[in-house]
Structure formats: C-alpha cells, structure tokens
Structure 1
C-alpha cells in the first residue's frame, strides 16, 4: 500500500522538496515575466488631448513628454511635420542638432535641454505663420524602444 509520503535520504519528505522546487521555479518565472513586461511595455510618449489653437505671430508650446524619465544614454528625440516628414528639430548625442533641421524652423523651434532629464521633450515654436498649421510628430527613441505622439496646430479663426 502507498502511504502518500515517500521518504528519501535525510529527513525531508519528497512533497516538501517538491513544494520548494515549485516555489523556486514559480519565482524565477515571475521575475522573468516582469522583466519581459518591462522591456516590451517600454514607455508611452504623451502630448496634448486635442489641437493647439494659436494666433499668427505668437509662440506655441508643443507638449511631448514621458511619465517616467528615461536614460539619457542613446536618447534621441525627433520632431517632424506629419504631412511632409520635414525635420523641425532633432535632439541627438546629448544636444540639439540645429544643422539638421529644416531652414523654415531654424531659430524658431527650440528645445529645453534642462528639461530632458525629467522626460520633457516639448518644443517651443516662435513667430507662428500660416505655414506652421498642421500636424507634428514627436518621436522618442531609446536603445530598446521608441514611442511617439501627434500634435496638431490650428490657426486661430482658421
């Protein structure tokens, strides 16, 4: 007849040994899954809930941020027009790259370098013209992931 408890060498029952083994395996699987979720989930890039209404000649802040600050290592932030893929502003290698941006935005599209470490990648666009109306895309790249948000500028009264 079987008693249900098998004793091996030592005083520990096989069911106790099995329980410990299962718990260790479950813990390893849990930690692996949490790491996988962290890597796959990455980060979310956030922007305004609706279009930004601006008067010609004024300045407008185009919000772009992440909820949790990212590592600055290999961080790249790219602002582009949606309709034409025109490069409005580029943050790369730890600094703005004004030589890369389209001439229409030279000295009008400004970043806030001191805000980057807090996860704020907003762009200040000054002296807004009718050509500035339309869609913009803020894309944030890290070594492992990327995310983007879309922003629309509408001309007041337009």
Structure 2
C-alpha cells in the first residue's frame, strides 16, 4: 500500500505540472523597432490575435505595459486603464480599440529618458502570459547624422575658402607695397618748376621774330 500511495502521489504531481504547462505554454514575444525624433508624439503598437484574446478568460485578465521593469499602465479587457504614478500625463490608451485586440500606447513629447524597451503583456490571470510584444524605442539618428554632415561640410568649405582667399590677399598686399616703393623711387615733377615753360615761350618768340623779318 505504501508503494502504491507513493506512486499515485508522484503521478499526481506530474499531472499537475503537465496541466500547468499545458494551460500556460511559453510565449515567443514579437519585437518591434520604433524610431522617432525628440519632441515628437509616437505610437507604441501592441495588438493581439483573436486566439490570444480567447485564452485570457479569467476574471483578472488584463494587458500590462512596462518600460524595462517599471510599470506604466494596466488595461482591462474592456479597455479601462489604471496608470501607475504620474504616467497618465504623457501616456494615453485607446479604450474603444481594446475589443479588437488593440492595446497600443500613445506617448507624447518624446525625450531622451524615454528611450528603451517597452513590454506589452497579455495576462490570463496573474502569472500566465498568453501574448507578448516588445517595442524597442530609439531616437532617429539620421537627423543628427545629417546635421553633423552639414556642419562638417560648412567647416570644410570655410577652410577651403580661407585657403583660396589668403594667398590672393597676400599677393594684393605685396603688389601694393611694390607699387608704393616704385612711386617713391621715381622722381615726381615739380609743379613750381617753370623752366620748361620758359623754354617753350622762348622758342615761340624766336619763331615769331623770324617770321616777321
């Protein structure tokens, strides 16, 4: 009798474990990449199939959103939302879409602290997850890359322009100094020197004298 009782007890434990595993099989999460710009409003998508919704039959079944390990909101199967702390300020849910399996989360005014992994889990009861979506939220780096490229391009063009202008400026200054030296070495006519004019008058007077005689 002792052996039979032990065998029966052992088999019952195995059956219970099998029943629990069968009732809540492991779920492979769906991973989504979400990219957005700072200050923008974004949608963190999370939808479950009709089959998954049918598995959430217990009274306390619900969808729970987390950021890493921080709880954000619990959404009932009818779409009623219960937010943790002050997350209701920037997060919004869609109550009318819950019946269709859409439990997406709307986030306003994205900042750097929002970057990270968000988990959307459909619970059948307390411990059994029958649906799981992971949203990897990151900043749009293409915008920063374009800005960096434009800044680099502007810097490069500015440097090239300086390399072109500086030699011309040096040449112009050098040429100006050469002209100044040349002008200083060349004798300038004296405006008060009347000797040349006097000679011209003498020649003119002689011509008139010879013409008269």
TM bucket normalised to smaller: 0.5 to 0.7
Structure 1: gaps (5+ residues): 1-37
Does 2:69 match 1:102?
Answer: no
Q: Residue 110 of structure 2 is aligned with which of 128, 135, 138?
A: 128
Does 2:102 match 1:151?
Answer: no
Which has a greater percent of helix? 2
Deviations 1:106-157 (A, max 9, x none): 3211111111111111111111111000111111112394132211100112
Does 2:73 match 1:89?
Answer: yes
Output aligned runs, 1:52-91, within 5 Å: 52-68=34-50, 69-70=53-54, 73-82=59-68, 85-91=69-75
Query: Which has the greater radius of gyration?
Result: 2
Distance of 2:31 and 2:99 partners within structure 1: 17
Structure 2: gaps (5+ residues): 1-21, 145-213
Residues 110 and 150 of structure 1: CA distance in aligned 2, closer, same or farther (over 3 Å): same
Q: Residue 142 of structure 1 is aligned with which of 100, 124, 139?
A: 124
What's the offset of the Cα at 1:74?
2.9
> What's the C-alpha RMSD, in Å, of the aligned pairs?
2.9
Contact kept? 2:77, 2:98, Cα under 8 Å? no
Look up the match of 1:117: 99
What is the TM-score normalised by the length of structure 2? 0.46
Distance of 1:80 and 1:117 partners within structure 2: 21
Larger RCO (CA under 8 A, 6+ residues apart): 1
Contact kept? 2:35, 2:137, Cα under 8 Å? yes
Which has a greater percent of strand? 1
Distance of 1:114 and 1:128 partners within structure 2: 24
Aligned pairs, how many? 117
Q: Name which of structure 1's ranges 68-77 and 147-156 shifts more when overlaid on structure 2.
A: 68-77
Describe the SS at the equivalent of 1:131.
Answer: helix
Contact kept? 1:46, 1:64, Cα under 8 Å? no
